[in-house]
Amino acid sequence: MEDLETLSSPEGLSGRRKALRWLREVLETILPAVLIAVLINLFLAQATQVHGQSMEPTLHSNQRLVVEKVSYRFHGPRRGDIVVLKSPQSSELLIKRVIGLPGEMVEIKQGQVYINGQKLDEQYLEKPTGGHWGPLIVPPLHVFVLGDNRSFSNDSRAFGMVPVKNIIGRAWLCYWPLNEVGVVR
C-alpha cells in the first residue's frame, strides 16, 4: 500500500517524470545518431577490411579502409582506381584495381597488360603479370579488374568482366594500422 501511495504522491510522480524525461533525452540523442550512421554507411562511405594478399604491395591483409560511395554517382570508374566490389561468384567483397574500361580491348601477353594494343604502364606492380589472356573487349557498363599481386589474385581473369553495378565504391583512405594512414593510391 505504501508503494501505491508513493507513486501517487507528488515526489513519486516527479521521479517518474524525471525518468521519462531522461529516457526521452536519450532517445532524442541516440536515434538521430544511429539514423545518421546508417545513412552515411548506405550512401556516402563505409569501412572495410583487406583480406588476403591479392593487392600486395599496395594494400596488405588486415588493413582497414574507408570506401567512398559518392564519386561513381557522377562518373564511372577510372583506370587505376582501387575499388571494392561484390564478387560475381559469391557474396564476399573483393578489393581490386580497375584496368579495362567499357569498349576497350584488354589483353595480357608476355608478362604485360595491353589496352587497345598499347602496353599499360603499371608502376605499382613488383612482378610482371604472368600468362596470357584475351584479347577481349570490355562490354558496356562493365570493367576489367586485376589484383596488384597477380600471382595470388582472384580477378577478372577468373570471373570475367565486372558489372559497374557490382562496385560498392572506391577505396579512399587507410585508417589502420596507424603507420599506414593515408590516401589509397
Q: Which residues are catalytic?
A: 54, 96
Tell me the residue type at 42: L
Contacts of 72 (CB under 8 A, 6+ apart): 164, 167, 169, 170
Beta bridge partners of 100: 144
Residue among 53, 43, 47, 139 at smallest CA distance from 96: 53
Contacts of 12 (CB under 8 A, 6+ apart): 6
How far CA 112 is from CA of 7, 103, 118, 144, 166, in Å, comes to 81, 20, 10, 15, 26
